[in-house]
Amino acid sequence: MISFLLCLALLIIGYFVYGKIVDNTFGPDDRETPAVRINDGVDYVVMPQWKLFLVQLLNIAGLGPIFGALQGALWGPVVFLWITFGTIFAGGVHDYFSGMMSERNDGASIAEVTGRYLGPVMQNIMRVFSVVLLIMVGTVFAVGPAGLIVTLCKNSGMSGLLTTTLFWLIIILVYYFIATFISIDAIIGKIYPVFGICLIIMAVGVIFGIFTNPAYTIPEIWANFGNMHPSGTPIWSFMFITVACGAISGFHSTQSPLMARCMKSEKQGHFVFYGAMVCEGVIALIWAAAGCALYTITDGKMAGLAEALAAGQSAAIYDVCAKTMGGVGIALAMIGVVICPITSGDTAFRSARLTLADWLKIDQDSYANRLKLCVPVLGVGAFLGIGNALGFINYTVIWRYFSWTNQTLAMIVLWAASMYLFKEKKNYWITAVPATFMSAVSCTYFVLAPECLGKMINTYADGKLVAYNTAVAYPIGIIFAIAMLALFIYATKKHTASQKA
């Protein structure tokens, strides 16, 4: 429990100390923000700081810091360190700069921002990459909640239309269309703060339930420092990919521009972007602690947690909430597993619309122009979602790549932020160091993971994975990270030389 409290204290201190260093490095000033200057009443709308914070938290969180942290707990309390230091030195920095660079560029989507600092080739790659990723996220966060609602209806004794996935999927997609189309302050700005508070209350309830129940003990890092994964899955870099939301997540960079278009002052960035990430880190730390405390450690391995997770996201969250908070926890769990994914899904589709709008130079202040993008974006999402519900489309395999692409996106954004700071003649190492680290993480995972290149280098017997070939993957990851850093330094020197010429 002491190590949990220390990590919690470090997160809080990190917000006030390192978060302020990050803020001072960027240098917010009193310039007119896009929300004030453009203010189209749809996407550019001035919102109060407390609302910006809660909407940003729910946009970036969803079930990510809950389920990802529970999965991370399979490696034992060592996951506390990644959540803590990842949030302070990587996730908070990533979210802050993705939001503030967007704000400095008229609230542009992350693809346009990245292109400005890394060149047109990367811009086009990021445009396609972002739109595909966002539509995929939005679709999955429509299919998932629809299935959960069906389960809840059946468990409540209902029958007929209300127990069909297709019915609820259509309802959710209709909501997504409305939320994507209308003003951000009409639905998102009004109800998201409420659900953001629910997400925080659920986390507080879980940790309070652990502290007040003598049957639960959060294990110490120093007494269980090592790989406790039941399957022996390597910590590097699987844990760093698994726990994305709650440490660092590239998906956040697609969401931060939404709030960058709603800030009244640049000085709100520290609280809205870095602060929301730290809050998510705290939520992830609590759920990781729950995963370690509520299940047993047998022979140096986590026991019971893998079985709970195998039953599905909703079942695992339901189990933790029921054990720590009883009936109230069950009610919060039901809200969380249904509402949280939906609140990430609708903003994913909204971000896809805005990314396309920036790409195609289509103003979004008229109904007709928004329809031009909402219809195809939601149309593709509906095709994929309904096709999956009817059984003729299966994108489960594709979704496995999300974890890797998510952290690769974070890596690219951090390199873009490094180039921005270099051009502004500011301390770019504050972003270049985590960018280098995430380069090693992404490359190592891509080489090692069975769904990527792992099938070619790992050891298999009778079609089953026997051992990971870390002796090959680790050096490749390190070499790639060094190469990326060298490429960045070369680019800075080339830029400096061109400026002198």
Give me the amino acid identity at 134.
L
165-169 long-range Cβ contacts below 8 angstroms, 24+ apart: 165/389, 166/386, 166/389, 166/390, 169/142, 169/143, 169/385, 169/386, 169/389
Q: Which two tokens stand for residue 304?
A: 């019971």
Q: Which residue range forms the structural domain that includes residue 241?
A: 2-411
**Domain containing 267 — which CATH number?**
1.20.1740.10
What is the predicted pLDDT for the residue at 393? 63
Phi, then psi, of 469 in degrees rounded to 5: -90, 75
Q: How far apart are CA 327 and CA 472, in angstroms?
A: 50
The count of C-alpha atoms lying within 13 angstroms of the C-alpha of 72, restricted to the half-sphere facing its C-beta, is 33
The contacts of residue 290 (CB under 8 Å, 6+ apart) are 70, 73, 206, 207, 210, 320, 324
- Assigned domain for 243 exists: yes
pLDDT of residue 196: 85
Q: Which residues of the chain have pLDDT under 70?
A: 312-314, 392-401, 501
Give the total number of structural domains in the chain: 1
For residue 148, give the nearest of 116, 172, 127, 124 by alpha carbon: 172
Q: Is residue 492 part of a domain?
A: no
Is position 480 within any domain? no
What pLDDT score does 399 carry?
57
Q: Dump pLDDT digits (tens) for 226-270.
A: 899 998 899 999 999 999 989 999 999 999 999 999 999 999 999
Residue 476 domain flag: no
In a domain, 82, yes or no: yes
Q: Crossing angle of helices 120-155/165-181, nearest 10°?
A: 140
Distance (Å, whole) CA 320 – CA 333: 9
C-alpha angle 21/24/25, rounded to 5°? 85
Query: What pLDDT shows up at residue 330?
Result: 74
Token reading at 308: 């709970």
Report yes or no on 262 lying in a domain: yes
75-105 confidence digits (pLDDT tens): 999 999 999 999 999 999 999 999 999 999 9
Identify whether 324 is part of a domain.
yes
Closest of 74, 77, 78, 68 to residue 283, by C-alpha: 68
Does residue 471 sit within a domain?
no
Cα–Cα distance for residue pair 170/383, rounded to 1 Å: 11
Neighbours of 69 (CB within 10 A): 28
